[in-house]
């Protein structure tokens, strides 16, 4: 490739007038591309290619085991949008499960970690220890979380029923299963959002709080006038990533409820994986994944829009 | 505020935080306790927080039996997570360096494209990546769980943020001394980037070690599974053998807990800050 001679980025801006000509000849023009090449191979094969290939697949009746993969146009999509079809009814039931889980988990996964972060936002002995403890479940994989909680939630011998004095079938009845799935997820990921909020809280200048105190603002006033506005970028990030994470829920449902009862807690990702990678109906599964992706991108767009509007106001 | 009120509030704060902490750790404590129980004790309706008798039977059985070769799963997971973390560092580091410190035609377009994929929902990659891995004849083998995830943009994005902050004077001095780009990269930039590299290695290792969905579907035969996939399959088949399941869960947690205890600050700081700097 014969581009202009590559040169070193001048980090100090205008410090050396006329750019840095002495470095111009030293670096060969292909050097930066060589630095990027190993990553770009991976990026091309496992990121760029699959995005197009996935959409191509969704336009076919694609079974990995069958030589014929007839082109069907948008039939996989129209089939999914027909609630009367088998695939359509299964898909929207799974989308409903994903929606229920997202709607009930996200508010808790914002409010409780924020509360914990506010409690920890001060200088006191043992703070780092608490932070480390609350974060611990998050470093465990979903398989450990699922296996342990399936045991604790066991309707007959589980600790949860024992200590609460209940007789609830957490893993096979709704709405109890939703309570269990949301509760387990809060336990698992509260620490993550809490440490992110805590980092954001500590970036808010102390002077702002002190100035508000001098003005006689109450704790609640200061929270609304100083803390929340100061947290806005962090809040945007947390709300967005939490919605995406909840909408991608798979392991908890796979391990704890197995989609029971009657596939009511089988999430969209769960159905896509089963359809594409167990039944090898990859055309339908790809179409499902693009519809889900569209929902996720719209959700992200709404979140960004909501945060931008408030700034203007 | 008087001293008494302040002391009372502080005590109350500690009480609340300590109760939450106890509730937080108790499931994990019970996991460990149950893993040392006999089969009968683990299935008892009366919860006991001290195993009596203490036995290693569950570990012996899950590590030794033919349909749950947990030792093999453990080694597979170790190889996969290490291989993945090394691959991420080896590929993302030079790319991030070039994107941060070198000027070349197409750089902004390239970086823009890489960042844009951070917004692509990963679910759309699931089916096509399975087909690609299948074309490469990697299904049911370790490369399938090592390589594809290394294409993610996070590593490049994360390290580029770091390289951008490095002062330019050191590089310029090295250039005047006649060093070429590769020498400057390895001798100047890499040592300075050590904390960021360690953090990225840890996060990549943890993510890969804990990954569940992908290995569950792309690995098939019992001896090629990673621990999460193996344990997930084992649970489907033996959902009431809680002694074995808890032993398996302990084996799956032990390495990440150890890593976490050793490098707790790097893990927490890395995770809590990495998403925010952008």
Pick from B146, B272, B42, B239: nearest CA to A159: B42
Q: Is the pLDDT of residue A51 over 90?
A: yes
The pLDDT value recorded for residue A16 is: 38
Which residue of chain A comes nearest to B255, CA vs CA? A140
For residue A51, list chain B residues with Cβ-Cβ distance below 8 A. 120, 124-125, 128
- The pLDDT-based confidence of A2 (bands split at 50, 70, 90) is very low
Under 8 Å between Cβ of B254 and B42: no
Of residues A8 and B209, the one with the higher pLDDT is: B209
What's the rounded mean pLDDT across residues B88-116?
Answer: 95
β-pair partners for A71: A60
A39 touches chain B (CB under 8 A): yes
Q: Which of residues 109-138 of A touch B (CB under 8 A)?
A: 116, 119-120, 124, 126, 130-137
The pLDDT value recorded for residue B167 is: 84
Alpha-carbon distance of B102 to A8, in angstroms, equals 5
The pLDDT value recorded for residue A1 is: 36
What's the rounded mean pLDDT across residues A94-103?
Answer: 97
The pLDDT value recorded for residue A6 is: 46
The pLDDT value recorded for residue A17 is: 38
Under 8 Å between Cβ of B58 and B36: yes
Query: Hey, are the CB atoms on A4 and B105 less than 8 Å from each other?
Result: yes
Instruction: Report the 10 Å Cβ neighbour count for A177.
Output: 23
Interface test mutation site (partner A, options B123, B209, B252, max chain A beta carbons within 10 A) = B123
Query: Hey, are the CB atoms on A248 and B121 less than 8 Å from each other?
Result: yes
Query: Hey, are the CB atoms on B147 and A292 less than 8 Å from each other?
Result: no
Alpha-carbon distance of A212 to B19, in angstroms, equals 32
3-state secondary structure of A120: helix
Q: Is the pLDDT of residue A23 over 50?
A: no
Q: Is the pLDDT of residue A5 over 70?
A: no
For residue A195, list chain B residues with Cβ-Cβ distance below 8 A. 268, 271-272
- The pLDDT-based confidence of A65 (bands split at 50, 70, 90) is confident
For residue B239, list chain A residues with Cβ-Cβ distance below 8 A. 150
Query: To which residue do tokens 């009657």 refer?
Result: A262
Tokens representing B41 are 């004790």
A142 touches chain B (CB under 8 A): yes
Q: Please write the tens of the pLDDT for every residue from A260-301.
A: 899 999 999 999 999 999 999 999 999 999 999 999 999 999
| Residue A203 region by backbone torsions, left for phi larger than 0, else alpha for psi between -120 and 50, else beta | alpha
The pLDDT value recorded for residue A106 is: 98
Under 8 Å between Cβ of A197 and A234: yes
Tokens representing A207 are 């002077």
- The pLDDT-based confidence of B275 (bands split at 50, 70, 90) is low
Q: Is the pLDDT of residue A3 over 60?
A: no
The pLDDT value recorded for residue A235 is: 95
For residue B148, list chain A residues with Cβ-Cβ distance below 8 A. 42, 46
Alpha-carbon distance of A270 to A285, in angstroms, equals 11
Q: Is the pLDDT of residue A248 over 50?
A: yes
Under 8 Å between Cβ of A250 and B210: no
What's the rounded mean pLDDT across residues A196-222?
Answer: 89
Query: Hey, are the CB atoms on A133 and B24 less than 8 Å from each other?
Result: yes
Q: Please write the tens of the pLDDT for every residue from B19-59.
A: 999 999 999 999 999 999 999 999 998 889 999 899 999 99
Alpha-carbon distance of B77 to B61, in angstroms, equals 19
Tokens representing A224 are 């609304």
Query: Hey, are the CB atoms on A151 and B246 less than 8 Å from each other?
Result: yes
**Percent share of chain B, pLDDT over 70:** 97
Query: To which residue do tokens 């991030």 refer?
Result: B96
Q: Is the pLDDT of residue B264 over 90?
A: no
Instruction: Report the 10 Å Cβ neighbour count for A12.
Output: 11
The pLDDT value recorded for residue A187 is: 97
The pLDDT value recorded for residue A28 is: 74
For residue A69, list chain B residues with Cβ-Cβ distance below 8 A. none
Q: Which of residues 151-210 of B touch A (CB under 8 A)?
A: 151-153, 156, 166-168, 171-172, 175-176, 180-182, 185, 206, 209-210
Smallest CA–CA distance, residue B49 to chain A, in Å, is 11
Under 8 Å between Cβ of A272 and A292: yes
Backbone torsions φ then ψ of B103, nearest 5 degrees: -105, 130
Alpha-carbon distance of B14 to A130, in angstroms, equals 10
Residue spans of the domains in chain B: they are 69-274
Instruction: Enter the pTM of the model.
Output: 0.91
Q: Is the pLDDT of residue A14 over 80?
A: no
Q: Which of residues 9-48 of B touch A (CB under 8 A)?
A: 10, 13-14, 16-17, 20-21, 24-25, 27-28, 30-31, 34, 43-45, 47
Strand-strand pairing, B102-103 and A7-8: antiparallel
Residue spans of the domains in chain A: they are 86-312
Fold topology of B69-274: MetI-like fold (1.10.3720)
The pLDDT value recorded for residue A26 is: 53
The pLDDT value recorded for residue A252 is: 97
- Cβ-nearest to A195 among B121, B227, B268: B268
The pLDDT value recorded for residue B274 is: 67
Pick from A235, A152, A154, A151: nearest CA to A201: A235
What's the rounded mean pLDDT across residues B231-244?
Answer: 90
For residue A54, list chain B residues with Cβ-Cβ distance below 8 A. 124-125, 127-128
Interacting residues of B199 by C-beta distance below 8 A, sequence separation 6+: B158, B266, B267, B269, B270, B274
- The pLDDT-based confidence of B176 (bands split at 50, 70, 90) is confident
Of residues A279 and A210, the one with the higher pLDDT is: A279
Q: Please write the tens of the pLDDT for every residue from A138-192.
A: 999 999 999 999 999 999 999 999 999 999 999 999 999 999 999 999 999 999 9
- Cβ-nearest to B121 among A162, A250, A293: A293
What are the CA-CA distances from residue A114 to residues A191, B81, B154 (Å)?
10, 32, 25
Asked which of B93-97, B218-222, B238-242, B259-263 is least confident by mean pLDDT, the reply is B238-242
C-alpha atoms less than 13 angstroms from C-alpha of A268 in its C-beta half-sphere: 30
Q: Which of residues 79-138 of B touch A (CB under 8 A)?
A: 90-92, 94-95, 97-107, 110, 113-114, 117, 119-132, 134
Alpha-carbon distance of B162 to A84, in angstroms, equals 53
- CA torsion sign, B121 to B111 to B88 to B195? negative
Interface test mutation site (partner B, options A1, A4, A9, max chain B beta carbons within 10 A) = A9
Interacting residues of B124 by C-beta distance below 8 A, sequence separation 6+: A50, A51, A54, A55, A286, A289, A290, A293
The pLDDT value recorded for residue A302 is: 95
What are the CA-CA distances from residue B77 to residues A39, B204, B224 (Å)?
23, 13, 10
The pLDDT value recorded for residue B178 is: 81
CATH H-level, domain A86-312: superfamily: MetI-like (1.10.3720.10)
Instruction: Report the 10 Å Cβ neighbour count for A111.
Output: 11
For residue B171, list chain A residues with Cβ-Cβ distance below 8 A. 8
How many separate helices (H) and strands (E) can be counted in chain B?
16, 1
What's the rounded mean pLDDT across residues A75-103?
Answer: 95
- Cβ-nearest to B128 among A50, A146, A241: A50
Query: Hey, are the CB atoms on A46 and B151 less than 8 Å from each other?
Result: yes
Alpha-carbon distance of B54 to B47, in angstroms, equals 15
Query: Hey, are the CB atoms on A269 and B213 less than 8 Å from each other?
Result: yes
What's the rounded mean pLDDT across residues B175-204?
Answer: 90
Tokens representing A26 are 């030293």
Of residues B274 and B95, the one with the higher pLDDT is: B95
Of residues A202 and B276, the one with the higher pLDDT is: A202
């Amino acid at each position: 490739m014969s581009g202009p001679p590559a040169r070193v980025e001048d980090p100090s801006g205008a410090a050396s007038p006329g750019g840095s000509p002495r470095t111009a000849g030293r670096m060969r023009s292909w050097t930066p591309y060589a630095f990027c090449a190993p990553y770009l191979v991976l990026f091309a094969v496992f990121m760029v290619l699959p995005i197009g290939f996935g959409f191509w697949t969704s336009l076919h009746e694609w079974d990995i085991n069958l030589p014929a993969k007839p082109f069907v146009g948008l039939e996989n999509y129209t089939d999914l949008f027909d609630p009367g079809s088998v695939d359509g009814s299964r898909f929207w039931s799974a989308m409903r499960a994903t929606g229920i889980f997202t709607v009930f988990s996200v508010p808790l996964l914002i409010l409780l970690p924020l509360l914990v972060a506010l409690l920890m936002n001060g200088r006191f002995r043992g703070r780092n220890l608490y932070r480390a403890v609350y974060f611990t479940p998050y470093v465990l994989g979903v398989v450990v979380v699922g296996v342990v909680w399936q045991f604790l939630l066991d309707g007959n011998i589980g600790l949860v029923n024992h200590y609460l004095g209940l007789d609830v079938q957490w893993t096979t009845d709704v709405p109890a299963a939703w309570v269990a799935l949301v509760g387990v997820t809060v336990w698992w990921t509260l620490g993550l959002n809490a440490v992110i909020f805590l980092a954001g809280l500590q970036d808010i200048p102390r002077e702002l709080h002190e100035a508000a105190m001098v003005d006689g603002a109450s704790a609640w006033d200061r929270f609304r006038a100083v803390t929340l506005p100061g947290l806005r970028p962090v809040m945007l990030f947390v709300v967005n990533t939490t919605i995406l994470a909840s909408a991608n829920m798979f392991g908890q449902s796979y391990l704890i409820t197995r989609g029971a009862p009657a596939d009511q807690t089988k999430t969209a990702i769960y159905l896509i994986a089963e359809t594409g990678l167990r039944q090898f109906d990859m055309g339908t599964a790809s179409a499902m994944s693009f519809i889900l992706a569209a929902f996720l991108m719209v959700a992200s767009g709404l979140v960004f829009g909501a945060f931008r509007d408030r700034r203007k106001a | 505020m008087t001293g008494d009120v302040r002391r009372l509030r502080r005590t109350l704060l500690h009480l609340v935080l300590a109760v939450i902490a106890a509730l937080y750790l108790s499931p994990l404590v019970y996991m460990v306790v149950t893993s040392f129980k006999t089969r009968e004790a683990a299935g008892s309706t009366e919860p006991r927080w001290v195993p009596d008798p203490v036995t290693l039977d569950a570990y012996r059985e899950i590590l030794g039996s033919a349909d749950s070769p947990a030792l093999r799963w453990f080694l597979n997971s170790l190889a996969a997570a290490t291989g993945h973390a090394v691959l991420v560092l080896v590929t993302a580091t030079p790319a991030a360096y070039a994107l941060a410190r070198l000027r070349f035609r197409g750089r902004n377009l390239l970086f823009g494209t890489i960042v844009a994929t951070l917004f692509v929902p990963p679910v759309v990659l699931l089916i096509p990546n399975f087909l690609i891995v299948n074309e490469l004849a990697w299904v049911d083998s370790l490369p399938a769980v090592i390589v594809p995830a290394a294409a993610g943009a996070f590593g490049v994005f994360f390290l580029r943020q770091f390289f951008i902050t490095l002062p330019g004077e050191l590089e310029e001095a090295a250039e005047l001394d006649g060093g070429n780009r590769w020498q400057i990269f390895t001798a100047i930039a890499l040592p300075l980037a050590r904390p960021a590299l360690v953090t990225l290695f840890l996060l990549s290792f943890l993510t890969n070690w804990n990954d569940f969905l992908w290995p569950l579907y792309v690995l098939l035969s019992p001896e090629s599974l990673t621990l999460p996939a193996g344990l997930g399959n084992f649970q489907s088949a033996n959902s009431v053998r809680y002694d074995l399941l808890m032993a398996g869960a302990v084996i799956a947690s032990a390495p990440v807990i150890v890593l976490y205890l050793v490098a707790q600050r790097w893990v927490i700081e890395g995770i809590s800050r990495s998403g925010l700097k952008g």
